[in-house]
Structure 1
Amino acid sequence: MMKKALLIIDVQNGMFTEGNEVYKSVTLLENLNQLINQARSTNTSIFYIQHNGPVGHPLEYGTKGWGIHPNISPQNQDVIIQKTTPDSFLNTTLEEELKKHGIKHVFITGIQTEACVDTTCRRAFSAGYQVTLASDTHSTWSSNEITAQQIINHHNTVLRWFATVCPSHEIIFNT
């Protein structure tokens, strides 16, 4: 059986600031919790990717905003990877940890759809991993030009070149 891992990218307190929370924040956390619970019940590895922002950034290293959201807190067996760019592989230990755990298939979730989620999805594909993007378990904010939902829809369509894209309720880890 191919070993799998759930990647949770940048679901940190700073992304849930009151009045500027990520799009559909409550649904995002609910869907993530369902995937986390399923992953735990099937002994699927969980990797939390935590962005270390510079001074003044909402995810500034060591601040409250930098912390992983308490609704999806990691447990002792989970792996936490620190990053400083949108690419969860660039200058991080992610590749090393995936290899150490024998992971061949990654399930990608998190924030921000058009930056860290997109980049990590493409990079995982290029590195030879089987990739699944949970279509309802990544999010962003609206821009001046298009809505957050349009950004999510667009990326769910475009990233089909690099991943199997499906809603979280269709994901099964133990097969």
Structure 2
Amino acid sequence: MTDTYDPTRTAVLLVDPYNDFLSEGGKIWPAVRQVATDVGLLDNLRAVVAAGRRAELRIAFVPHRRWQEGDYEDWDHPNPTQRLVQERHSFARGTWGGEFHQDLQPADGDVIVQEHWAQSGFANTDLDFRLKQHGITHVIVIGLLANTCIESTSRYAMELGYHVTLVRDATAAFMPEMMHAAHELNGPTYAHTITTTTELLRTLENGDH
């Protein structure tokens, strides 16, 4: 891995680290459990965030809209994912499922971005503005789901001129085929680097930043 990550210019974007996605008892956990377990998702998310903090990278939490009563009911054309959120009340505001996982909590100095309504953490939020105010040019995108919010956020980042790193095993999806599409078919069309947690940690810990 030849990329370097200047701590003054690099942010880890942690997308949707909710209990509903990551914890036993979460509404969506059963759908991601197999892939998440196979790749060691939670351990890798913990490791990337911890390594990012040690390397003094900026950590940005990029959360999905927390569902609340009335969401999408009077919308002209909510998308299929929003219809599912409306049906199952994913990440409901004020509930355990809508809280960040206990091991992935914001720390002093982290950026907490406005909640995104659809799949991109940039669209209709302050993410781009906040990153630019900190001089960020490189983003390492981790979290959920590989083929929806991670891909959409990362594509948008590329379009805005950011250097994008995907981490294969610091994300998950409902099926292995979705992971394959995210990293083998679609990722190479927009990501500057596609790596693993082990490779990324080696780069950060070797001081290549």
- What TM-score do the two structures reach when normalised by structure 2? 0.75
Q: Secondary structure at the match of 1:138?
A: strand
Asked if 1:10 corresponds to 2:20, the answer is: no
- Given candidates 63, 67, 70, the residue that maps to 1:50 is 63
Larger relative contact order (Cα-Cα within 8 Å, sequence gap ≥ 6): 2
Cα distance in 1 between the residues matched to 2:17 and 2:135: 24
Cα distance in 2 between the residues matched to 1:113 and 1:62: 26
How many residues are aligned here? 169
Which residue identity lines up with residue 22 of structure 1 in the other structure?
V
Alignment of 1:1-175 (within 5 A): 1=6, 3-15=9-21, 16-18=23-25, 20=30, 22-23=32-33, 24-25=35-36, 27-55=40-68, 56-81=88-113, 82-141=115-174, 148-157=175-184, 158-163=186-191, 164-171=193-200, 172-173=203-204, 174-175=208-209
Q: Percent identity?
A: 27
Cα distance in 1 between the residues matched to 2:66 and 2:173: 17
Residue 80 of structure 1 deviates from its aligned partner by: 1.2
Residue 115 of structure 1 deviates from its aligned partner by: 1.1
Cα distance in 2 between the residues matched to 1:96 and 1:169: 31
User: What is the aligned-residue RMSD (CA, Å)?
Assistant: 1.7
Q: Secondary structure at the match of 2:103?
A: helix
Residue 58 of structure 1 deviates from its aligned partner by: 1.6
Please tell me whether Structure 1 or Structure 2 has the larger radius of gyration of its CA atoms. Answer: 2
Cα distance in 2 between the residues matched to 1:51 and 1:6: 16
